[in-house]
Structure 1
């Protein structure tokens, strides 16, 4: 499991909610992926399962739109051409993403490591249960 973030030196701030699942499903919009955003908050978004299917280099049937969208996002991160990424298996494309995160500085991404940090929870549990009952304590 790998996470990436934009390089601080690029001075980019990207705040998007994009989910692409297995090159078959795309969700793009303002909603966070939690119960409150999906059911209660005022949000806007689009969820797409395309009916046009294609065979990937992995020999897996996927949705054309979802795969093309993922390739476009990988192009932004890796600086590789569409044709080069289109010919790659999914794992080869992920390897290209990893290589871009460790490149000479031309890509916009770098590895992101998550560190456990202690925090002080100043919201009483009774209030938290009323405001957002789906949040679990860690």
Structure 2
């Protein structure tokens, strides 16, 4: 689903941005067979996505890269440890178990279903999800440019971004803009450096790349 939509954007030389937040690592014992199987299929899923997008970039002779369309992030937290004699871990991941998709600030899907065919095609896993749309608030053209609606779903997404970045910035209003994409990647990359060296950096935002 995601790859097909990105390929469509590549074919017609259109900008398209997909932000995906997943756990840095799955819950469980790293060496257990259950966790290894999860990591196995996660690796092959990501590998397929990157290979298929890359193949189509070459097919349509695009100078773009996979990272111009698709980015993966995770959430982490850097704590200030209390002054005790017990060893503390100042940096840790925030385990993402939410199933949430927001499309162009006018459609939102949230529930127990994973964003894949197994959960969403209606004939396999039993799940419960809610699709939310605002019929009178859809993307529109303004001075020849596409603009996103600014209604309740927009407000919900921006609140999530504020929680992830620590405060509100104007560039959050337009997630499809290249400048926004670049800023998110820049901040998330810096946050990852802080995550690896928590004794050097102190960050209040939690999105990492």
Supply the distance in 2 between the matched residues of 1:99 and 1:86 (Cα, whole angstroms): 13
Distance 1:77 1:94, change over 3 A: farther
**Could you tell me which residue of structure 1 aligns to residue 162 of structure 2?**
75
Secondary structure in structure 1 of the residue aligned to 2:108? strand
Looking at secondary structure, tell me which structure has more helix per residue: 2
Secondary structure in structure 2 of the residue aligned to 1:66? helix
Secondary structure in structure 2 of the residue aligned to 1:68? helix
Q: 1:29 aligns with which of 111, 114, 124?
A: 111
**Could you tell me which residue of structure 2 aligns to residue 127 of structure 1?**
none
CA contact (8 A) 1:5 1:109 kept: yes
**Could you tell me which residue of structure 2 aligns to residue 89 of structure 1?**
174
Q: Which segments of 5 or more consecutive residues in structure 2 lack a partner in the other structure? A: 1-69, 78-90, 192-200
**Could you tell me which residue of structure 2 aligns to residue 109 of structure 1?**
207
Q: Does 1:50 align with 2:134?
A: yes
Supply the distance in 1 between the matched residues of 2:136 and 2:93 (Cα, whole angstroms): 37
Secondary structure in structure 1 of the residue aligned to 2:149? strand
TM-score in terms of structure 1 length: 0.62
| 1:63 Cα deviation after fit | 5.8
CA contact (8 A) 1:17 1:28 kept: yes
**More RCO (CA 8 Å, sep 6+):** 1
CA contact (8 A) 2:172 2:180 kept: no
| 1:89 Cα deviation after fit | 3.1
**CA-atom RMSD in angstroms:** 2.9
Supply the distance in 1 between the matched residues of 2:165 and 2:127 (Cα, whole angstroms): 31
Supply the distance in 2 between the matched residues of 1:86 and 1:51 (Cα, whole angstroms): 25
TM-score in terms of structure 2 length: 0.43
